[in-house]
Chain A
């Protein structure tokens, strides 16, 4: 009888450790690899007083470092959750916003809007563009990969997703080259960069993350049932169509928000849930907080690494994440039937 209690403990401990690591990385990223000295006092003042009356370093922490670190945390967490939802609904551990082409579609949507080809008369037009772009890509991939049919080949879904992602990336580059003179700067953005995130975007991201977290927690038990098989889930009362539609809408919004904030960041949604599974098992309920925490850790680490690699120049966090993530994908794809 002590066994289940121990197990539950271990999962809680894992989650706790992950959150602690995340907090440490968050704190470190405020001062790490900066081109000027940031002391602990500066960081503290920057975070908690908005930098008033404590000097330039603290103000820079408040206005630049803090939103950046928060963005990394929130975006990483959101992508981790998004990947988890997608993996749950497709019963495919390779699924993620990047692999299913949603990230690519979202950035194409954004490129279409910023180059003026499509105009959306909303205040937050960027967000709408990314969400719609991601939704189109997702629909296309699922049609091509016949994702919902019973004998769907998982490899085919992933292959369709990556190809759609490549197509979207090609089109995005095309648009960017046609429209931008500062093409090299855009290459950085296209790789997913946290460098220019400001507080307004972080606020939106925070809302999306919290909503996404709550939603994931709510559907987690249903996803457990789905992973037992469609018939079983149906027999147990899971409304598959509603669940799929919910995950679809949520996934598009979550991915769209991350792309609108920092450009397309890949593979976090693939790595985070799979790493989380190593520590807390396959039950989706503890996986929700764990994936979010691991995702945040991964992106924070990628951002710090991106600053460290060619200091004082910066490599976009997305490029670092892609580097590790693609290798991760390579290893994982080997195990797929």
Chain B
């Protein structure tokens, strides 16, 4: 395991770089890789597409994909439920609803408070789910079902609001399904917050390994692990909330990325978390590139593509659970 993870992480980094380069090249106007490289390095009059449009967008995609992958790894580590993810905890849709309400109530306000609103919404979603499940013994499927019910309720409210108080279609899609549309340099600022948060997640790697040993082992190690649990969930809520505030509720990344990472490098969180982050980043970048490249100039929101890819994967997981 140790040896292969040494090669996997650099491979993933290379893959990510390649995916990002592809993202710079593909779109309504196709640019060759060489041309894109030239535009990156030598700023000149023709570099608008790369510098103003695709580069900040791709960077945001990388950061958010990494954040969602990390959040998923944290949640799956705490819950020991293979179906768990920020979406199942109601965090993604809760944050999405909060952002929608904020957008509708205060459209003129600057977007600097959106991350806070989103995190509060995500926390509310998770809290609602915990309260909903309190006092009941649950299987992975039962828990996932309750999470899906909570998320579905939030999503219905969001859709209702967007249909009753219509906003411009791209903004609506952003709030409904998650989209990188028009995400530029100004949106990168809140996304940069994600970097130290992902770093913080690494400190939880060892406690998460211990939690993964099972309730008895974890119980004998007492208070510190319940603090680690709380810290993991809080961190996951922050990561997801900030992500949703930038690009809306993108689902399934927090489920698929940790799973794929686990298959690549195993369950040791010290390597699992960075791997999940990298896989998440690659997924989001590729999904966005596909969304822009399928039928230019129409952009398919990245959230729709991650759902189309992620839902079959979730179904397959469900099928495998006994």
- Tell me the complex Cα distance, A171–B155, Å: 17
Q: Is A166 an interface residue (CB 8 A)?
A: yes
- Tell me the complex Cα distance, A323–B149, Å: 12
Contact yes or no, A178 B298, CB < 8 A: yes
In the assembled complex, the CB of A333 is this many whole angstroms from the nearest CB of chain B, namely: 4
Q: Is B42 an interface residue (CB 8 A)?
A: no
Chain B neighbourhood of A155, CB < 8 A: 139, 141-142, 144-145
Q: Is B295 an interface residue (CB 8 A)?
A: yes
Contact yes or no, A156 B146, CB < 8 A: no
- Tell me the complex Cα distance, A334–B146, Å: 7
- Tell me the complex Cα distance, A316–B165, Å: 12
Contact residues on A (Cβ < 8 Å of other chain), bracket: 35 or more
Contact yes or no, A330 B153, CB < 8 A: yes
Contact yes or no, A144 B298, CB < 8 A: no
Chain B neighbourhood of A162, CB < 8 A: 148, 152
In the assembled complex, the CB of A105 is this many whole angstroms from the nearest CB of chain B, namely: 13
- Tell me the complex Cα distance, A162–B306, Å: 16
Q: Is A85 an interface residue (CB 8 A)?
A: no
Q: Is A191 an interface residue (CB 8 A)?
A: yes
Specify which of B145, B149, B318 is in contact with A144 (CB 8 Å cutoff). Answer: B318
Contact yes or no, A173 B177, CB < 8 A: yes
- Tell me the complex Cα distance, A147–B319, Å: 12
**Selected interface stretch from B18-26, B156-164, B239-247:** B156-164
Chain A neighbourhood of B155, CB < 8 A: 326
Contact yes or no, A322 B159, CB < 8 A: yes
Contact yes or no, B315 A144, CB < 8 A: yes
Contact yes or no, A325 B156, CB < 8 A: yes
- Tell me the complex Cα distance, A153–B138, Å: 13
Q: Is A1 an interface residue (CB 8 A)?
A: no
Contact yes or no, A170 B307, CB < 8 A: yes
Chain B neighbourhood of A191, CB < 8 A: 159, 163
- Tell me the complex Cα distance, A244–B114, Å: 50
Question: Given contacts A164-B315, A173-B177, are A159 and B156 in contact (CB under 8 A)?
Answer: no
Contact yes or no, A174 B300, CB < 8 A: yes
0/1 interface trace, chain B 283-300, chain A, CB 8 Å (1 if under): 000000000001100101
Contact yes or no, B153 A163, CB < 8 A: no
- Tell me the complex Cα distance, A183–B315, Å: 29
In the assembled complex, the CB of A148 is this many whole angstroms from the nearest CB of chain B, namely: 15
In the assembled complex, the CB of B134 is this many whole angstroms from the nearest CB of chain A, namely: 11
- Tell me the complex Cα distance, A336–B146, Å: 10
Contact yes or no, A187 B172, CB < 8 A: yes
**A22-62 CB contacts (< 8 Å) to partner B:** none
- Tell me the complex Cα distance, A23–B59, Å: 58
Q: Is A226 an interface residue (CB 8 A)?
A: no
In the assembled complex, the CB of A191 is this many whole angstroms from the nearest CB of chain B, namely: 6
**A288-337 CB contacts (< 8 Å) to partner B:** 309-310, 313, 315-316, 319-320, 322-323, 325-327, 329-330, 333-334, 336
Q: Is A158 an interface residue (CB 8 A)?
A: yes
Question: Given contacts A170-B311, A178-B300, are A160 and B318 in contact (CB under 8 A)?
Answer: yes
Contact yes or no, B153 A187, CB < 8 A: no
Contact yes or no, A315 B164, CB < 8 A: yes
Contact yes or no, B318 A333, CB < 8 A: no
Q: Is A204 an interface residue (CB 8 A)?
A: no
Q: Is A188 an interface residue (CB 8 A)?
A: yes
- Tell me the complex Cα distance, A176–B213, Å: 47
Question: Given contacts A167-B315, A184-B169, are A159 and B144 in contact (CB under 8 A)?
Answer: yes
Q: Is B314 an interface residue (CB 8 A)?
A: yes
Q: Is B308 an interface residue (CB 8 A)?
A: yes
0/1 interface trace, chain B 124-160, chain A, CB 8 Å (1 if under): 0000000010000001011011101110110111011
Contact yes or no, A333 B153, CB < 8 A: no
Q: Is B321 an interface residue (CB 8 A)?
A: yes
Contact yes or no, B149 A163, CB < 8 A: no
Contact yes or no, A156 B318, CB < 8 A: yes
0/1 interface trace, chain A 84-121, chain B, CB 8 Å (1 if under): 00000000000000000000000000000000000000
Q: Is B107 an interface residue (CB 8 A)?
A: no
- Tell me the complex Cα distance, A210–B208, Å: 58
- Tell me the complex Cα distance, A183–B142, Å: 36
**Nearest chain-A residue to B170 (Cβ)?**
A183
Q: Is A211 an interface residue (CB 8 A)?
A: no
Question: Given contacts A310-B164, A319-B160, A322-B160, are A174 and B304 in contact (CB under 8 A)?
Answer: yes
In the assembled complex, the CB of B284 is this many whole angstroms from the nearest CB of chain A, namely: 16
Specify which of A158, A163, A184 is in contact with B314 (CB 8 Å cutoff). Answer: A163
Question: Given contacts A170-B311, A174-B308, A184-B172, are A316 and B145 in contact (CB under 8 A)?
Answer: no
Q: Is A177 an interface residue (CB 8 A)?
A: yes
**B147-199 CB contacts (< 8 Å) to partner A:** 148-150, 152-153, 155-157, 159-160, 162-166, 169, 172-173, 177
Contact yes or no, B144 A177, CB < 8 A: no
- Tell me the complex Cα distance, A329–B312, Å: 23
**Nearest chain-B residue to A316 (Cβ)?**
B163
In the assembled complex, the CB of A330 is this many whole angstroms from the nearest CB of chain B, namely: 5
Question: Given contacts A187-B172, A333-B149, are A322 and B315 in contact (CB under 8 A)?
Answer: no
**Nearest chain-B residue to A180 (Cβ)?**
B298
Given A144-B318, A326-B155; 12 other pairs, CB 8 A cutoff: A163-B314, A167-B311, A170-B304, A177-B301, A183-B169, A184-B166, A319-B163, A326-B156, A329-B153, A330-B132, A330-B149, A330-B150
List 25 contacting pairs A-B, 8 Å CB cutoff, sorted by A: A155-B139, A155-B142, A155-B145, A156-B318, A162-B152, A163-B311, A163-B315, A166-B307, A170-B177, A178-B295, A178-B300, A183-B169, A184-B169, A187-B172, A191-B159, A313-B166, A322-B156, A322-B159, A323-B157, A326-B155, A327-B153, A330-B132, A330-B152, A333-B146, A333-B149
A-contacting residues of B (Cβ < 8 Å)? 132, 139, 141-142, 144-146, 148-150, 152-153, 155-157, 159-160, 162-166, 169, 172-173, 177, 294-295, 298, 300-301, 304-305, 307-308, 311-312, 314-315, 318-319, 321
**Top 6 nearest A-B pairs by Cβ distance?**
A167-B311, A170-B307, A326-B156, A326-B153, A322-B156, A315-B164
